[in-house]
Structure 1
C-alpha cells in the first residue's frame, strides 16, 4: 500500500513540475510578445517620416497598376508606361485644381463681409439675460479684483501689466513653414516611390515568392498570399473610389438645389474627405454649416445645409460602404474601429485612411499562417 502511495506521489510531482514549467514558458512568451509589440509601436511612430510615404505609395501604386498594364500588352517598356500614367495623373490634378482654386478664393473674399454683417447683427440684438456661467465668471472677476486691491502696494514701484500680443497670421504661417516643407518632401518622396513601384511591376512579388522557397509548396503558398494581398487592397481602393464619387456627386447636386455657392468645390471636398473615416465627414459638416451661415446669414439654412451633408455622408458611411465592404472583407466592426483608433493615434488623418487596408492585409496573412490564425480569428467576423 505504501509502495502504491509513493508511486502515485512520484507521478504527481513530475506533472506538477511540468505544469509549472509550462506556465513559466507561457508567461515568458507573453512578456516577450508584449515587449516586442511596444517596441514595434515605438519604431512605427519614430520612423513615421519614412514609413508613411512608403505605405501611401504602395496603396497608390496598387490603384494605378491597372492603368499601366495596357502598356505591357502593347510591348511598351514598363518604366515608360509608368511615367506616362504618373504624368497624366499630375496633369489631371493640376488642371482640376485651377477652377477649384478660383472658387476657394471667391469664398475667402466673402468671409470679411459676412463677419462684418454678423457683428452688426450681434450689436443690434437685444441684450440677453445672463446665465449661470456668465454670472459665475463675473463673480470670479470681482473676487480677483478685490484680491488685487487688498494687496499692499510698495511705494515707488510701478505695477506691471502684461499685454498679450495680438494674433499675427503672417507669423503663424511662417512658424508652420517647417511643417509644410516636411509635408512637401514626403509628398515628393511618395510620388517617386509610386513611379518606381509601377516601373518595376511584379518584381518584388516574384522576389518574395523566390525567397520563400526552396520547396514548391512554400513558394505556392507565398504566391497565394501575395495574390490575396493584391486583391484585398485593390478591392478596398475600388470601394473607396465608389464612395467618394457617390458623396461628391450627391453633395454637389444637393447644394445646387439649395442654392449654396461653390457647390462644385464642396462636392470635391466632401468626396475627398469621405476617405477619412469619422474625421472627414465631421470637418465637412462643420465647414458647410459655417459657409451656409456666412452666405445666407441665418441659422436655419446653416442647419439645413450641414444636415444635408450629414445625410449624404451617413448614407455612404452606414449603408453603401459597409454593404460593399461586407462582400470584400471579413473584418468585424470592432476590429475596424480599434484599428482606426490605433492608426489615427499614430499617424493622424493618414493613419485613418490606411487603417482598413492594413487590417485587411494583416487578416489575410493570419489566415494563411498557422501560428497567426488566433489573431485572424479575433479580427474576423
Structure 2
C-alpha cells in the first residue's frame, strides 16, 4: 500500500511564510509604536511634573542654557592659557556683571516711573472719558438685564498681600535658586572643558562618546550663534529706541533702550508689551492723544523693519524658527514656570530643534503611513 500524503504537512506547506525582512519590519514598527505611545504619555505628563517640581527642574535647565551661551567665551579664555576652573568662573562673573549693570540702568529709573503710573492713568482716563461716554449704554443694558433677572451686582474684594510683602516672602527662595543655578553653570562649563580636553587627547576618534561630543558641539555652536546674533540685533534696537526716547522727550532714555533690548528677546509678546508701555507713558505725558501715540507708532515701525527685513537677512533661512513653534513654546513654558519660563522658552526650543536636526526628527504622520518613526538627522551624515 502506497504511502498516503499527510494532510497536515500539505496544509503547513500551503501557508505562505513571511520573508525575513517583512518580519523584521513588523518587529521594528511594533517597537516604534510602543515608543510613540511612551512619548505621547511623557508629553502629557511632562507639564505637570515640571510645574510641580519647578524648584528642582528650573535651576538645571537655566544652567544648561547659560552653559551653552557662555561656552564659547570659556573656550576663548581657555585658549589663551587660563585654567578650566578660572575660565569658567571668569565667564560667569562677566555674565553676572553684565546682568547687574543692565538691571541697574533699567530698574532704578523704572522704580521712579512706577510712582508716576497713577497720575498717568488718571490723565489717560480723562482723555478717554468721552470715548467711554459713547459706550455708556452697555453698562445701562447690563444693569437693566441684572434687575430683570433678579440679580444685583455685588463687588467682591479679595484681601491679598502687598507687593512689598510678596517680594519679602519670595526673596530667600529666589536668592537660593540663583546661587544653585550659578553653581550648576560653573560645574557644567568646567566639566565640559575637561571632557573636551580628554576627547582631544583620545586616539579613538570613532567611538560613541566622540560622536556625542560632536553633536553637542554643533548644538552649542548653533544655539550660541543664534542667541549672540539676536543679542547684537537687540542691542541695535535698544540704541535706536534710546535715541528716539531722547528725541521725543521721554524721561530716562537709557531705561527705554534697555527695556527694548530685553523685551525683544521674547518674540511677539515682548514688542507688544513695549508698545503698551510706550502708549501708556506717551498718553500720560503728552499734550494730546495724537502726540501721545507717536512713540508707540514709531516703535511699531522699527519693530516691523527689524522683524521682516533685518533679522531674516542676517540669520538666514537655516536659523529661522517657526513662529507657531515659538508661540507654543512661550505659552507652554510660561504656563509651567511663569516669567523665567517665558524667557527660557526660545533658547530651549532652539536646543531641541538643533538636537533633532542632528539625531533625527519624529515622523509621526509618515509612521502612520508605513514610514520609519524617525527621519535621519542631517548632522549624522556629516
2:145 alignment partner in structure 1: 140
TM-score, with structure 1 as normaliser = 0.74
Name the CA distance, whole Å, in 2 between partners of 1:38 and 1:147. 41
1:244 touches 1:274 (CA, 8 Å); kept in 2? Answer: yes
2:188 alignment partner in structure 1: 197
**Which of 289, 297, 308 is 2:298 aligned to?**
308
2:39 alignment partner in structure 1: 33
Name the CA distance, whole Å, in 2 between partners of 1:26 and 1:96. 49
Residues 200-253 of structure 1: per-residue CA shift (max 9 Å, x gap): 44235568x79xx98824344223212211211211221221122022111112
2:93 alignment partner in structure 1: 87
CA 1:143 to 1:180, structure 2 compared with 1: closer, same or farther past 3 Å? farther
**Residue range with higher mean Cα deviation, 256-265 or 32-41:** 32-41
Structure 2 unaligned blocks of 5 or more: 1-6, 364-372
CA 1:143 to 1:173, structure 2 compared with 1: closer, same or farther past 3 Å? farther
* Post-superposition offset of 1:77: 2.8
Query: Structure 1 residue 362 and structure 2 residue 367: aligned?
Result: no
1:158 alignment partner in structure 2: none
Structure 1 unaligned blocks of 5 or more: 149-160
**Which of 206, 231, 245 is 1:241 aligned to?**
231
CA 1:316 to 1:194, structure 2 compared with 1: closer, same or farther past 3 Å? farther
2:174 alignment partner in structure 1: 183
Let me know the Cα RMSD of the aligned residues.
4.3
Name the CA distance, whole Å, in 2 between partners of 1:215 and 1:307. 56
1:50 alignment partner in structure 2: 56
SS of residue in 2 equivalent to 1:310: helix
* Post-superposition offset of 1:175: 4.2
* Post-superposition offset of 1:27: 5.0
Q: What is the correspondence of 1:268-279 to structure 2 with a 5 Å cutoff?
A: 268-279=258-269
* Post-superposition offset of 1:89: 4.1
**Residue range with higher mean Cα deviation, 74-83 or 241-250:** 74-83
1:248 touches 1:269 (CA, 8 Å); kept in 2? Answer: yes
**Which of 110, 113, 133 is 1:107 aligned to?**
113
Length, aligned pairs only: 359
**Which of 237, 242, 257 is 1:252 aligned to?**
242
Name the CA distance, whole Å, in 2 between partners of 1:356 and 1:122. 37
2:109 touches 2:252 (CA, 8 Å); kept in 1? Answer: yes
Residues 264-318 of structure 1: per-residue CA shift (max 9 Å, x gap): 2111011101111222111111111111122115322332211222222333333
CA 1:77 to 1:171, structure 2 compared with 1: closer, same or farther past 3 Å? same
